[in-house]
Structure 1
Amino acid sequence: MTRILVVDDAASTRTVLGNALADVGYEVKLAASGRDALERIDAIDPDVVTLKTTLPDGDAVDAIERIMTINPTPVLLLCDELPEETADSLLEGVARDVVSYLEQPVAGLHGRFVADVVEAVGDLETVDASSLALARTAATARVAQPVTGGQTSLRRNDTANATVPSTRTDSRRDQTSSRPDDVTTVPVEGTTLLESIVVVGASTGGPKIAERLLERLPAALDATVLIVQHMPATFTGRFADRLDTVSEYPVREATEDEWLSPGEAVVAPGDADLEVVDHDGRGLRVRLDDEQTRGVQPSIDVTMETAAETVTGPLCGVVLSGMGGDGAAGIEAVDAVGGHTIAQDEATSQVFDIPCQAIATGCVDEVVRGDAIAAAIVDACTVRPANDRAAANTEGETDD
């Protein structure tokens, strides 16, 4: 039987969540504090931990750190109001470890939130706990060498839509960012497609893959990048700042009704859907919609579908590690208009739901490792020289 450890200092919350989880067949253990949970976690050996972000005897950052050290376990964070310094440090744990998140209502528990907790626990119980320790170790080591992806270019475009790779220094970007010394961007070989739009969607396990992607994505590609990461609004602005420090692209949290230029990247806010509403010579215009219509917000599907409806040039849709099925309909929409679609593979996805359901649509062009996604995007958004294409076409041929 799957064992769940519920950690919350409020007895009423422990009771409500514990009863709801027990009603669907889980074995439930309760802890009133982080210290209590950590003292008992080895003996309890839970399959999933639900953890309130504010506990009276310490912060959730330390709890996650010690859980992942003592007994690596998927964690569901129940996010309430956080001090600024706690939110900043907690994002480090969110980006590094397998953590999912739900906003906890300030006014008290309600039926929808409790049902969401039960559903999220059900998704997390499928995570292979033995892979968490390996993933945590791997997260501390940077992959230094550049990687190569497939050789596919965007299907809706040809060399007539290509432009010579940019060699400019982007004045919008402080080139002295804190990018790791051992990370190199993917080389751009050939010509870039004019004004490529890249939409990246992710959920649980996605932050660190998105970070690696942005580390390796070259400014010379001159794409416009939209990132939809399932994450509470408390964290999305900080997540954008984190990506900005490691990327050649300037990255910020998206704001209402703004124009984006090639070479810029934005992160969807955690409390709104990011919609693409215009695309012309001025760039790409996006707006925010806080009316939740898809069951999850921000919605990957909303951003990809509105991009497919609006973008007039090269379009690339990417889905990374995450729970649920958000992104599958978006990938179908991108594919329907001739865009290029990429999914992270199962071996490198901490939670394979989102890529798996996208792949099941039959609309994914490439399934690649997490560390090869930036290269796959570059290949999709460039046209290789004719002699390179000819060489690729003759690879593997033998004399009769």
Structure 2
Amino acid sequence: MNKKKQIRVLIADDSALMRILINDIINTDPDIDVVGQVNNGKSAYVSTEELKPDVVLMDVNMGEYDGIYGVIEIMKHCPTPIIILSSIGNVDMDPILEGLKLGAIDYLNKPAKNRVNMDEVKQDLIKKIKVASTINLEEVLKNPITSNIHEHSFDKFISYDCIVLGASTGGPRALERILTRLPKNLTIPVVIAQHMPASFMAAFASRLDQLTPLQVSIAEQGAKLIAGNVYLAPGDINLTIERKKGSYVFAVTEEQFVAYNNPSIDALMLSVAKTYKKRAIGVVLSGMGKDGAIGLKAMKAAGSYTIAQSEASCIVYGMPKAAVEMEAVKQVVHLDEIAAFLVSCLA
């Protein structure tokens, strides 16, 4: 009987203690093996060339040759799935988002040195390493998209009043690719539930806002949805949309969902199904797990148009697969075609 192949991991962190903590976590899983430990981005690149790991765990703040240097060199010379490591309480999210833009496929809070959050980090780290070892690197390696500054001629009477997008692992890059291809005179609002810590959201919204002519901001409870604006669900609540005095406004539900919470894609899409009924478009993008499948099915049942990102274009084909298997999807679309497909629905 053939022994199951272990997932080979390289750890890059300038803290010897952190390397020990991460190594100890990984050693609890027999399917994963640490093949090397380094303390800067340059050594990470050299060791990746030599050791050929399946996954690289990369801290971003490592002096002169930092994690961004490591991501650039690895993705240029020896493409390998990279998970960015971030310290808990880190307020500067720009390097992490830059790492994702340059080719890293996911991010993770490092364990606290006092080990208080060890169980939570252990479960998350092992799961993300296993997913990263199976991802579609072809999509990661695609060149970034330039922003669409052109206008589009929309029909005076369109069939939809809102677009809602749900994403997890691989979502930031997918969202960049979609939003940069939407016309600047988009006639309806776009609402996004991206699985991401609350501390990341402001920086992520700012980055998207710089990439697209559309105004991108974090949704606020009680605020009205404005046509042509893009809204991100906050990372510490389950955002919903409700109808009040003839307007669509953002709300919050205390209900907890099985698949994921804060933000829950299911929560958002279930509310869209209830408020917009057939006048919405729902899209489930790349991500781990099953969040969005239940909500997208409710949207389809209400008459909305429902879309799933194609397996070939996903970094992680978890959430779209769950939606397809639940028969919640009317159309499967390649990531590079989603923006044009959405515009065609409104033309």
Do residues 192 (structure 1) and 199 (structure 2) align? no
Taking the aligned partners of 1:266 and 1:103, their CA distance within structure 2 comes to 25
Partner amino acid, structure 1, of 2:227 = P
| Correspondence for 1:103 | 109
2:71 corresponds, among 48, 61, 64, to 64
Do residues 113 (structure 1) and 79 (structure 2) align? no
1:1-400 → structure 2 map (5 Å cutoff)? 1=5, 2-22=7-27, 23-34=29-40, 35-56=42-63, 58-80=65-87, 81-82=89-90, 84=92, 87-104=93-110, 106=112, 108=115, 109-129=117-137, 131=138, 135-136=140-141, 138-140=142-144, 142=146, 179=147, 184=150, 187-189=153-155, 191-193=157-159, 196-218=161-183, 220-287=185-252, 294-295=259-260, 297-311=262-276, 314-381=279-346
Partner amino acid, structure 1, of 2:81 = P
Partner amino acid, structure 1, of 2:124 = D
Shift of residue 278, structure 1, vs aligned partner: 3.5
Taking the aligned partners of 1:274 and 1:185, their CA distance within structure 2 comes to 30
TM-score relative to the length of structure 2? 0.85
Shift of residue 46, structure 1, vs aligned partner: 0.9
Taking the aligned partners of 2:110 and 2:43, their CA distance within structure 1 comes to 22
Q: Deviations over 1:213-248 (max 9, x none)?
A: 222323554212111222333432222222223434
Taking the aligned partners of 2:187 and 2:346, their CA distance within structure 1 comes to 10
Taking the aligned partners of 1:124 and 1:296, their CA distance within structure 2 comes to 22
Taking the aligned partners of 2:255 and 2:230, their CA distance within structure 1 comes to 20
Aligned pair in 2 of structure 1 residues 96, 305: CA closer, same or farther (>3 Å)?
farther
SS of the residue 2:23 aligns to: helix
SS of the residue 1:285 aligns to: strand
RMSD value, Cα: 2.8
Taking the aligned partners of 1:256 and 1:117, their CA distance within structure 2 comes to 32
How many aligned residue pairs are there? 337
Q: Deviations over 1:68-113 (max 9, x none)?
A: 12321111222224463xx324323313424212233555341121
Aligned pair in 2 of structure 1 residues 102, 255: CA closer, same or farther (>3 Å)?
farther
Taking the aligned partners of 2:154 and 2:76, their CA distance within structure 1 comes to 40
Shifted more, 11-20 versus 39-48: the winner is 11-20
SS of the residue 1:49 aligns to: strand
Taking the aligned partners of 2:253 and 2:97, their CA distance within structure 1 comes to 23
Aligned pair in 2 of structure 1 residues 381, 296: CA closer, same or farther (>3 Å)?
same
Taking the aligned partners of 2:245 and 2:190, their CA distance within structure 1 comes to 16
* Structure number with larger C-alpha Rg: 1
Taking the aligned partners of 1:262 and 1:184, their CA distance within structure 2 comes to 17
Shift of residue 341, structure 1, vs aligned partner: 0.5
Aligned pair in 2 of structure 1 residues 356, 248: CA closer, same or farther (>3 Å)?
same
Taking the aligned partners of 1:68 and 1:193, their CA distance within structure 2 comes to 42
Unaligned stretches of 5+ in structure 1? Answer: 143-178, 383-400
Unaligned stretches of 5+ in structure 2? Answer: none
Aligned pair in 2 of structure 1 residues 250, 62: CA closer, same or farther (>3 Å)?
same
Shift of residue 289, structure 1, vs aligned partner: 6.2
Q: Deviations over 1:319-376 (max 9, x none)?
A: 1222222222221121122211011112222222222221111120111121221222
Q: 1:358, 1:364 within 8 Å by CA — same for their partners in 2?
A: yes
SS of the residue 2:14 aligns to: coil
